[in-house]
């Protein structure tokens, strides 16, 4: 950094010993290399990073440029002597402040983890998708399976119910869907099971396995605790 007030922008921000030290350090910390050092090139490097690292990188670039400008102004106009350790401490503080402002996520990788540990900032793990396998299980020989469901847009509102019967080979034996009056989701799911069981019995299918995706309804039937209104139907 020169004491000359007419120092070029290029030399001040990219070529002098002070600015070169700061940018080299930033590149080392983020494990990148910028061949042609200028503002455009530095900003574009952020596009190759995870959202969290990009936030830290962009913030460090603007913070570093601000640091260089203020250090130069104080040296020329206030005759203050800067030290690399002092300016480095200011820059580290800016990076930590950016970390708390960022809502971006890191990549769950060794590379991002190592970089963030070296910066000493909090981790922002990404919300990864957990893939699970589910299988529709066939009923036993001589049994049928009843899958029931209730559909609504609102609660309470006019709802519909439906159910489907399959045998041990997976063959569809029958289906039914019908509309209900103004009821809650819970009551609709209960009625779907009751109607399904009644329909199975009327067809002579006396051993039935009922399956529903409404947990509280399943628990109510398993504990013989269904609403009394339904018991009276």
User: Do 91 and 71 form a contact (C-beta atoms < 8 A)?
Assistant: no
Q: Is the confidence at residue 4, as pLDDT, over 60?
A: no
Q: What is the pTM of this model?
A: 0.51
Could you tell me the pLDDT band of residue 233, with boundaries at 50, 70 and 90? low
Mean pLDDT of 21-42: 88
Q: Where in the chain is the domain with CATH 3.30.420.10?
A: 144-231
Report CA torsion sign: 187, 191, 194, 196: negative
Q: What is the mean pLDDT of the chain?
A: 83
Q: Which two tokens stand for residue 102?
A: 């960022």
What is the fold of 144-231? Nucleotidyltransferase; domain 5 (3.30.420)
DSSP code of 80? P
**Residue ranges with strand state E in the chain:** 144-151, 157-166, 172-183, 208-211
Could you tell me the pLDDT band of residue 91, with boundaries at 50, 70 and 90? confident
Can you give the pLDDT at residue 131? 61
The whole-angstrom separation of Cα 22 and Cα 25 is 5
Tens of pLDDT along 106-127?
Answer: 988 888 998 999 899 999 988 7
Q: Is the confidence at residue 92, as pLDDT, over 70?
A: yes
Can you give the pLDDT at residue 79? 72
Tens of pLDDT along 145-185?
Answer: 999 887 766 555 677 888 899 999 999 999 988 887 777 77
The whole-angstrom separation of Cα 60 and Cα 121 is 13
Q: Is the confidence at residue 101, as pLDDT, over 90?
A: yes
Q: Is the confidence at residue 97, as pLDDT, over 90?
A: yes
Tens of pLDDT along 37-70?
Answer: 889 989 998 998 999 999 999 999 998 888 888 8
Which residues have a Cβ under 8 Å from the Cβ of 49 and sit 6 or more positions away?
30, 57
**Phi and psi based region of residue 100 (left: phi greater than 0; alpha: psi -120 to 50; beta: remaining):** alpha
Can you give the pLDDT at residue 3? 54
């Amino acid at each position: 950094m020169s004491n000359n007030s007419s120092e070029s922008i290029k030399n001040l921000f990219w070529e002098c010993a002070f600015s070169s030290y700061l940018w080299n350090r930033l590149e080392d910390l983020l494990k990148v290399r910028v061949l042609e050092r200028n503002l455009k090139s530095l900003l574009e490097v952020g596009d190759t990073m995870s959202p969290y690292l990009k936030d830290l990188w962009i913030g460090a670039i603007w913070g570093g440029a601000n640091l260089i400008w203020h250090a130069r102004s104080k040296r020329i106009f206030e005759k203050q002597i800067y030290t690399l350790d002092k300016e480095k401490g200011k820059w580290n503080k800016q990076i930590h402040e950016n970390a708390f402002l960022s809502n971006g996520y890191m990549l769950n990788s060794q590379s991002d983890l190592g970089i963030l540990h070296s910066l000493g900032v909090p981790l922002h793990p990404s919300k990864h998708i957990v893939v699970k396998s589910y299988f529709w299980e066939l009923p036993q020989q001589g049994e049928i399976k009843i899958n029931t469901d209730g559909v609504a847009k609102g609660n309470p509102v006019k709802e519909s119910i439906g159910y489907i019967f399959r045998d041990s080979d997976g063959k569809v034996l029958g289906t039914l869907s019908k509309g209900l009056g103004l009821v809650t989701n819970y009551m609709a799911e209960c009625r779907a099971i009751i109607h399904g069981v009644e329909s199975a019995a009327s067809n002579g299918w006396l051993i039935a396995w009922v399956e529903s995706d409404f947990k509280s309804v399943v628990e109510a039937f398993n504990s013989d605790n269904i609403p009394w209104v339904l018991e009276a139907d």
